[in-house]
Structure 1
Amino acid sequence: MLAMPRNAVIGVDIGTSSSKGVLVGLDGTLIRSATREHTPARPGPGRFEMDASIWWREFIELARELAAADDTTVVAVGVSGMGPCVLLADERDTPLRPAVLYGVDTRSVHQIQRIEARLGADEIMRRGGSALTTQAAGPKIAWIAEEEPELYARARRLYMPSSWLVRQLTGDYVLDHHSASQCTPLYDTHTREWYAPWAADVAPGIELPPLRWPGEAAGTLTPEAARATGLPAGIPVTTGTVDAWAEALSVGAQNIGDLMLMYGTTMFLIHTVPEPLTSPSLWGTVGALPGTRNLAGGMATSGAVANWLRDLFADGDHARLTALAAESGPGANGLLMLPYFSGERTPIMDPDARGVIAGLTLSHTRGDLYRAALEATGFAVRQNIEVIEVVGGDIRRVVAVGGGTQGALWTQIVSDITGRPQELRAITIGAGYGDALLAAQLVGDASIEDWNPVRETVTPRAEHTGRYDELYTLYRRLYPDTAATVHALAALQER
């Protein structure tokens, strides 16, 4: 007798450097995973873009590969993606230009200044939860309106990677509340609705999408999408959200006092708080679950610097470089790095910051450089944590997730530098797994504690505290000591 196929869900996340999909049983078992790599376009200094056709094409490829398992039946789909991004489409839902990506794209500095002059910086933070920075979607929309007015005149709808997938899969035009809360200044974090006066000011003519929570069903798979993807027509699709928030759900880091550290192309931090907290150095948002609030931070690069170093060395690969970095030892033999290779987001909020490597000698090795990059992430995490606590955050537990947790060295370095233990769950594959959890909750009961228990805890090593405290003091001094020089160099790079 043939065995009956078991029910499963698919989760797909559109990231900065790849799209990742997972096929997961309703009990949380990871059945299959797949990846498609891509590279954002960089049409100029400080500009990062991506064609939305990549998102849909890679979703189709991932869905067909994952659903090819003969012993499973896909019963729901969850989606997420990098954000906040700005994809503008016309009245027929045809994209008008490549999407402008999140805070790694720093083109909107002048628009920020003009919007603040009109609306007031303090009022923007009070209503929107965050200072206006190049992370926010609002100034990116304003940049397109000012710099490409003929194109903008045809714009009618706003999409992000997750909501674009939802549109292709279900035909529905929706966005989740969390993504909307990163559209500063278009969203009111107190009323949890679009704020019409500021939307009309910053994004005139755009029909902003109806809002739902990430785990709510956006709609069901259309027959056309079923033919394209090979998935069953009529199955529910989640509304979805920004990748970092799906990643937090994938490891259960959504309780009051939790701090998620996402080790990826960029480093992201999400702290769940009981009441709204604001800081000009962080982002105050609504959470992925109804009623939750977050204080969040994010670096512009982290794993991206490690990838850059790998690519510089002809025979470089991460496993080899990690082994060499471990031999280098704490302090990278006197090297110190500022990881601001694409500007920096929190807490310095400086799009014109640039990477600095201090202390180089002819005796330094590839392992020293790679170690300095990993330690730079640790110092940046420590600085973000300090800002979170200064404004009232209460970090009770740190949970790590993402591809960078696969090797023990990086997480150990961050714990040593911050003095914080980090929980690692059994599955740290990331946002796609969180997407799958939300999809499973559409069709039944699913709990992350049952799906993904704690596997180990990385504890700080006391013998390294003194060295890293000394280096952290130097790290904090290095940015202000070099800022004028790197700003001048950033200006030259714009020419």
Structure 2
Amino acid sequence: MSHVVGVDIGTGSTKGVLVALDGTVVAAARRDHVAALPRPGWVEMDAERDWWDDVADVLRELTATGEEVVAVCVSGLGPCVVQTDEDLRPRRPAVLYGVDTRATREISEITEQLGADAILDRCGKDLSSQAIGPKLAWLRRNAGRDWRPRDRWFSAHSYVVARLTGEWILDHHTASQCDPFYDVHAQDWATDWVEQVLPGLALPRLVWPSEQVGVVHGAAAVATGLAEGTPVVAGTVDAWAEAFSVGVRRPGDLMLMYGSTMFFVQVLAEPTSVRGLWTTVGVEPASHTLAAGMATSGTITTWLQDLTGGVPFETLVAEAAAVPAGSEGLVMLPYFSGERTPIYDPLARGVIAGLTLRHGRAHLLRAAYEGIACGVKQIVGAFEEAAGRPARIVAVGGGTQGGLWTQIVSDVCGLEQQVPARTIGASYGDALLAAIGVGLVPPETDWAQLDHVVQPDRSTEPAYSTLFRTFTELYPVTRPLVHRLARSAHSGGEPE
């Protein structure tokens, strides 16, 4: 019986699934890893160890089942950037997506060079820490002899594709986050801007996420257990692969991804440029999406668990569920790594306000969930203003397990959320892309099935109305103070 494999490189782990052509998951594998934080504002990974070695391990475990694998597809956290030589040896650690905020100077310089309005019109979004162009410019400025314009550069999944096949490709969606080097309307590289910003920069071949781009070569077959000649499909950024996995493919569909970061993808009827949100190319040809992302979400809950002595997370969640809405006067700004949408402030920091001696770990966890939910409400409101009220909202990711987090988001936002039967993640979408890419299932195939719907609890409206007002007022009044502290941390000096 034929099977396909999907593998996703996430912020905290690499996960893979072996899937039959009817969508049945036959086997799964996982390898954990941790991003490095070498300096304030820097978030890095070792592409060789954290990306390729982990994927190879996962593939060996899945192929050890003995089932026939007829295609493979890989997605990954992103957009990221790692620069390599022609032999695919990384010249330095990979720079991660919007959580890495080192390129603030380059963002300002490129924006001034090309014009903010021109960038928004052509690329579909303002330059931010999410954009790859400024990160490449930072590498040029700081890499010294390690910078070679003709070197190859990759995001996480495209690096693995190169290790599997030898092909240097980038899917259109990921390319559409390489601002300001991609034109979302022409759906092609903006080569004139590339030459203005980084003259001579080599560019990968553009493909669509479901396109077969090569086959597994001999060395990769030995490393992974895949048969030599196995077709490899391009893949894309993890959030878009996950949206694809749960059927978020029609205009008006909005995915909320509950993970290390909170991520949002809504399918558009037509492209639109909205300041503060990200217009990108979608997974399928000629499609467009509107996206947004918070910088820290699930990572805060992990931090809290570690801070409270490693108590079982199920215990923490049960305790937080018993705390009343509003966390008895506690409010948290979840800006522990700066913030992307909606404030775009790399110097923002976490704030916990209203602490008393009565508050305990359960209050802190609930306040974290509620603070994240307030951020979600701000972002969903921006989506509605830009593209109309979402036709449906689909909740995915590990954070949907247990139910408290999703319930709080529905309560704070007053919105219904659909939770699929399978919230496996991007790797499941990769498997579907692999099957479509080699023609084993029709392009319109959808493996998603609904499990349940989260309805808002209207009794919480008074408490959450007050909380949201406090949340939105707290950031502006604390901004100057946390900026001072953030600059002090960057410089290693005392607060000004």
Q: TM-score, normalized by length of structure 2?
A: 0.96
Give the corresponding residue for 2:474: 478
Q: Partners of 2:351 and 2:310 in 1: how far apart?
A: 24
Q: Does 1:399 align with 2:394?
A: yes
The one-letter code sitting in structure 1 at the alignment partner of 2:447 is W
Give the corresponding residue for 2:59: 63
Which moved further from structure 2: 444-453 or 281-290?
A: 444-453
Q: Partners of 2:253 and 2:106 in 1: how far apart?
A: 34
User: Is the contact made by 1:186 and 1:199 (CA closer than 8 Å) also made in structure 2?
Assistant: yes
Q: Partners of 1:490 and 1:428 in 2: how far apart?
A: 36
Give the corresponding residue for 1:3: none
Alignment of 1:293-372 (within 5 A): 293-372=288-367
Q: Partners of 1:164 and 1:312 in 2: how far apart?
A: 35
Q: Does 1:191 align with 2:215?
A: no
Q: Does 1:467 align with 2:476?
A: no
Q: CA deviation at 1:449?
A: 6.7
The one-letter code sitting in structure 1 at the alignment partner of 2:86 is E
Task: Determine which of 410, 414, 417 is the counterpart of 2:412.
Answer: 417
Cα gap change, 1:357 to 1:266, in 2 (>3 Å): same
Give the corresponding residue for 2:160: 165
Identity, in percent, stands at 51
| Structure 2 spans left out of the alignment, 5+ residues | 492-496
What is the total number of aligned residue pairs between the two structures?
A: 489
The list of structure 1 runs, each at least 4 consecutive aligned residues, that deviate by more than 3 angstroms after superposition, is 446-450
Q: CA deviation at 1:450?
A: 5.4
| Structure 1 spans left out of the alignment, 5+ residues | 1-5
RMSD: 1.3
**SS at the partner of 1:158?**
strand
Q: CA deviation at 1:146?
A: 1.0
Task: Determine which of 206, 209, 216 is the counterpart of 1:211.
Answer: 206
Q: CA deviation at 1:101?
A: 0.4
Give the corresponding residue for 1:149: 144
Q: CA deviation at 1:277?
A: 1.7
Which moved further from structure 2: 440-449 or 169-178?
A: 440-449
Q: Partners of 1:225 and 1:479 in 2: how far apart?
A: 49
Q: Does 1:433 align with 2:416?
A: no
Q: TM-score, normalized by length of structure 1?
A: 0.97
Q: CA deviation at 1:447?
A: 7.3
| Cα shift readout 1:323-368 (whole Å, capped 9, x = no counterpart) | 1110112111211000000000011110000000011001101110
Give the corresponding residue for 1:264: 259
User: Is the contact made by 1:271 and 1:393 (CA closer than 8 Å) also made in structure 2?
Assistant: no
The one-letter code sitting in structure 1 at the alignment partner of 2:53 is R
Q: CA deviation at 1:281?
A: 1.1
Q: Partners of 1:468 and 1:449 in 2: how far apart?
A: 40
The one-letter code sitting in structure 1 at the alignment partner of 2:55 is F
User: Is the contact made by 2:101 and 2:129 (CA closer than 8 Å) also made in structure 1?
Assistant: yes
Alignment of 1:283-298 (within 5 A): 283-298=278-293
**SS at the partner of 2:31?**
strand
| Cα shift readout 1:264-294 (whole Å, capped 9, x = no counterpart) | 0000001111111222211111111111111
Cα gap change, 1:411 to 1:145, in 2 (>3 Å): same
User: Is the contact made by 1:7 and 1:74 (CA closer than 8 Å) also made in structure 2?
Assistant: yes
User: Is the contact made by 1:10 and 1:24 (CA closer than 8 Å) also made in structure 2?
Assistant: yes
User: Is the contact made by 2:282 and 2:288 (CA closer than 8 Å) also made in structure 1?
Assistant: yes
Give the corresponding residue for 1:488: 484
Q: Does 1:41 align with 2:36?
A: yes
Give the corresponding residue for 1:237: 232
Cα gap change, 1:315 to 1:162, in 2 (>3 Å): closer
Q: Partners of 2:402 and 2:206 in 1: how far apart?
A: 38
**SS at the partner of 1:47?**
coil
Q: Does 1:251 align with 2:246?
A: yes
The one-letter code sitting in structure 1 at the alignment partner of 2:253 is D
